[in-house]
Structure 1
């Protein structure tokens, strides 16, 4: 099939400094299940997975997937705009086989281009294992093993998004349901977990539906089993304990086994089936949405050491910090009203800290005015102020 080209409007990109890094081509493929003969939807889903693969290779934020259109079935697969890291997309191949639609494409990507005002820096995360909601736990036996495999694949998907996330720790057990964190006690516990892990954000989820259903056959086809999948993923601010976003991802597909079967949750047969492909797609969607909602949030870290010559903070080169990056001190104030509601606010210190040395998980800083702010202490917060931009020779 003839390749199709999608080009960005280069107005902004062409105005970049002459020493900016050149765009590079990356190739990727994706597949999706065709449901109810809806090939257009399957084509969009497969193309998104293919583009996602190229962004991961280029180590570019998955928030760039926001250029992917879903609203109009007759529209082009991609609409690109100046300022985004993807300059051009070539659809190289599309084919359908056995109810699957696959798309192969290549994308011309500017690895250093950011969708935000500041240079992209990975966000420090604490991951919590998914829990099984009571209804999901009763749907079938062996769901505990399936949940463990889903957890592992979700962790791998988060870790692969290195431009967006740095996993600092994995909680030993699932967290409470998101609605419980409206209480001050639960929010305080979440803040303690995040602070202990030196994580700015917490991802937590639960499997809400793994139930089976029956697709009735006819004279030519036997009855077939279907299975639900519903995942709720919550994103918390580990500094305040507040819920940022909670979304549910759900689908239903054919189940490749008899309902009484006890398949290996890690088997290729399961993950190459319609159910496995759809489940993996939903896990990716959850990671992509978390990357989008956090993409332009300013990085926060803690003061972990104060000496006569420097102040060490709990963010380093694995998150993307570089010498010359700047942070502002942020003092947290909190109070409780007469009804027991707790409120928090942050007050920025006028003094700025500049990164002078970076290590994998921390950095040494010094004040720009050569004078330390009064009463700076370990566990004080610092917040991203500005980041040094790299320039590359042609």
Structure 2
């Protein structure tokens, strides 16, 4: 067992108290590439540290993983981790594990002075026709993958607030651009008071054979391919779609009856790779949405008090301000219709916060445009954090 120590210079100038957190990660060694496995294991360990420190997973994009013999990461400025110490590193049965601890600046985030979680609707992953036909156990495995994906999203309250989980998968990605589908997405988001919708499908769970060699016997190999899409609930339009895929040895006999939720599966090379890609998909969503401004709906108008559909569970606090949005549409000379959303001069200040809604009042009442239920508002600013001297 090797014990390494790596100390990195502090790059933050905040005078707030930092805290130490510890995390572990494991990766599969492919083709004797220990450097890649080391980077993947360390990234998973650091990911667990960020979750403990309530820091956005989008911060992982600031760490450039270099092929250096002794350095683990090269850090950019404004990173919420000032020091990393590798506590343990060991290899066993073709898997490499790392335990590290890191000095984390609480609530240090990429875009604002604190995390504002994005409200999501999660829809179950569907099984493509090819994935369904390969093996009867794929439906149960898909159910477990969905459960683990949902858990991975919910474990990062700095990034996400799950407002609803639908019972049925969304329609096929090929329909996302169609008008009726986008209207359905808008209705789904509005009924759940969510800003974004996450959907996906398992594209490949097939088996293959690794040919026997001079000193190797024939073994089974299993594929995995997952497509994950993020859609804007306000417009109904796609934001991004990514495919995550891998191929590993299948360490079980084809006749083995395996529980898809068992540790036996998820501690195998196949299970470790699946969990890594599930985490990677969640990390990519965090990056895509990290600096997107929070939008919400007006849900009640009572005199000068205007209630909006965002609250403390997303990180909203008294003093935050929202701009009132107005929508317009036009048709060009070719008959194409376009929707436009823009801010007006009306601003609302949060005066009282509840878990899932907040009461606001106009910053300047004489500038306040007429407000109706279902009008959209957009986060304008967040209050400056006060640092200790």
Deviation for aligned residue 1:256: 2.6
**Which of residues 27, 42, 67 in structure 2 aligns to 1:47?**
42
**Pair 1:388-2:361 in alignment:** no
TM-score for the superposition, normalised by structure 1: 0.94
Pair 1:354–1:8, CA change in 2 (3 A): farther
**Which of residues 159, 169, 173 in structure 1 aligns to 2:164?**
169
Other-structure match for 1:205: 200
Query: Secondary structure of the equivalent of 2:74?
Result: coil
- Counterpart CA distance in 2 for 1:340 and 1:189 is 23
Deviation for aligned residue 1:116: 1.0
Gaps spanning 5+ residues in structure 1: where? none
- Counterpart CA distance in 1 for 2:263 and 2:153 is 21
TM-score for the superposition, normalised by structure 2: 0.95
Q: Does the 8 Å contact 2:19/2:103 carry over to 1?
A: yes
Deviation for aligned residue 1:2: 4.6
- Counterpart CA distance in 2 for 1:46 and 1:364 is 45
- Counterpart CA distance in 2 for 1:326 and 1:79 is 37
Other-structure match for 1:4: 5
Greater shift after overlay, 181-190 or 202-211?
181-190
Moved beyond 3 Å, runs of 4+: 70-76, 218-222, 335-342
Other-structure match for 1:251: 246
Deviation for aligned residue 1:333: 2.0
Greater shift after overlay, 197-206 or 341-350?
341-350
Pair 1:161–1:113, CA change in 2 (3 A): same
- Counterpart CA distance in 2 for 1:341 and 1:270 is 52
- Counterpart CA distance in 1 for 2:335 and 2:7 is 55
**Which of residues 282, 287, 290 in structure 2 aligns to 1:292?**
287
Query: Secondary structure of the equivalent of 1:189?
Result: helix
Q: Does the 8 Å contact 1:119/1:389 carry over to 2?
A: no
**Pair 1:362-2:357 in alignment:** yes
Q: Does the 8 Å contact 2:6/2:71 carry over to 1?
A: no
Query: Secondary structure of the equivalent of 1:101?
Result: strand
- Counterpart CA distance in 2 for 1:233 and 1:88 is 33
Q: Does the 8 Å contact 2:227/2:244 carry over to 1?
A: yes
Greater shift after overlay, 181-190 or 356-365?
181-190
Other-structure match for 2:145: 150
**Which of residues 252, 255, 262 in structure 1 aligns to 2:257?**
262
RMSD: 1.8
**Which of residues 283, 298, 302 in structure 1 aligns to 2:297?**
302
Other-structure match for 1:273: 268
**Pair 1:195-2:193 in alignment:** no
Pair 1:135–1:144, CA change in 2 (3 A): same
Pair 1:345–1:8, CA change in 2 (3 A): farther
Deviation digits for residues 200-258 of structure 1, max 9, x if unmatched? Answer: 11111100000001112346543211110000000111111111110000001111322
Pair 1:354–1:233, CA change in 2 (3 A): same
Deviation digits for residues 155-190 of structure 1, max 9, x if unmatched? Answer: 000000110000000122111222311111111111
Other-structure match for 1:283: 278
Deviation for aligned residue 1:75: 8.2
Pair 1:342–1:213, CA change in 2 (3 A): farther
Greater shift after overlay, 310-319 or 363-372?
363-372
Q: Does the 8 Å contact 2:50/2:57 carry over to 1?
A: yes
Deviation for aligned residue 1:370: 3.5
Q: Does the 8 Å contact 2:107/2:113 carry over to 1?
A: no
Q: How does 1:13-52 map to 2 (within 5 A)?
A: 13-14=12-13, 16=14, 18=15, 21-52=16-47
- Counterpart CA distance in 2 for 1:27 and 1:366 is 43
Query: Secondary structure of the equivalent of 1:5?
Result: coil
- Counterpart CA distance in 2 for 1:162 and 1:223 is 45
Other-structure match for 2:372: 377
Q: Does the 8 Å contact 2:294/2:379 carry over to 1?
A: yes
- Counterpart CA distance in 2 for 1:106 and 1:334 is 53
- Counterpart CA distance in 2 for 1:77 and 1:202 is 35
Deviation digits for residues 112-134 of structure 1, max 9, x if unmatched? Answer: 21111453200000101000011
**Pair 1:108-2:98 in alignment:** no
